[in-house]
Chain A
Amino acid sequence: AQTVTQSQPEMSVQEAETVTLSCTYDTSESDYYLFWYKQPPSRQMILVIRQEAYKQQNATENRFSVNFQKAAKSFSLKISDSQLGDAAMYFCAYRWAGNNRKLIWGLGTSLAVNP
């Protein structure tokens, strides 16, 4: 069975600094997607970034980038130039690339951004 593990329940970062959130996963599939979602207090789950397993290049979206290590089954999120609006719960999620849209989620990391 696929699993997603986030080992950091809470993290904090100073405004304008860089922070890295960790995620490991387990799967026997070769074709899958990995995601980082942000859930602010408003509860709306927002996609931050995604990575296709077949791509060796790490995904980047503005201040957000990932370090995808397929062999190690590691998928960390780096947030650069942190802003107060980045404060939220961050979830790492996995989905097989087949027809089923089922997402498997980690427990989340609560990120605080200090002014």
Chain B
Amino acid sequence: ETGVTQSPTHLIKTRGQQVTLRCSSQSGHNTVSWYQQALGQGPQFIFQYYREEENGRGNFPPRFSGLQFPNYSSELNVNALELDDSALYLCASSLSGRGYNEQFFGPGTRLTVL
């Protein structure tokens, strides 16, 4: 069973640029959630995708967008990067449905915006 993977590991961008982060979910999982973890903070929920549709969104502006593909992998896109977007971006995959289904986290992508 393959775990959750994310790419790239590290990324440096300049203010105003656009970035795409990628996440491959664990085998059999159909739901992907994205979180932003600023330095010294707890993660903040960005959004969740289920069967290629956004299924819940946190308090993030529209320049944060995402995609989920038929194989349930996912992308997080951030346009017009700002200095405050510097953070660790985590994705987590799980099965959908009511009840407990454990979320498995990837190792994260560290984004630095200069």
Q: Which residues of A contact B (CB under 8 A)?
A: 4, 33, 42-47, 50, 52, 91, 93, 97-108
Contacts and interface: CB of A to CB of B under 8 A. Distances in A.
What is the interface of chain A mostly: helix, strand, loop, or mixed?
loop
A107 B90 CA distance: 16
Interface stretch (B13-21, B60-68, B75-83, B100-108): B100-108
Interface of B: 31, 33, 35, 40-45, 48, 55-56, 58, 88, 90, 92, 94, 96-103, 105-108, 110
A68 B55 CA distance: 30
Contact of A100 (B55, B99, B106, B108): B55
16 contacts: A43-B88, A44-B107, A45-B90, A47-B102, A52-B100, A99-B96, A99-B97, A101-B48, A101-B92, A101-B96, A101-B103, A103-B33, A103-B43, A105-B44, A107-B41, A108-B41
Given A44-B107, A103-B45, 7 more contacts: A43-B110, A46-B105, A50-B100, A99-B96, A100-B55, A101-B103, A108-B41
B109 to A, nearest CB: 10
Contacts of A91: 42-43
A42 B107 contact: yes
B42 A107 contact: yes
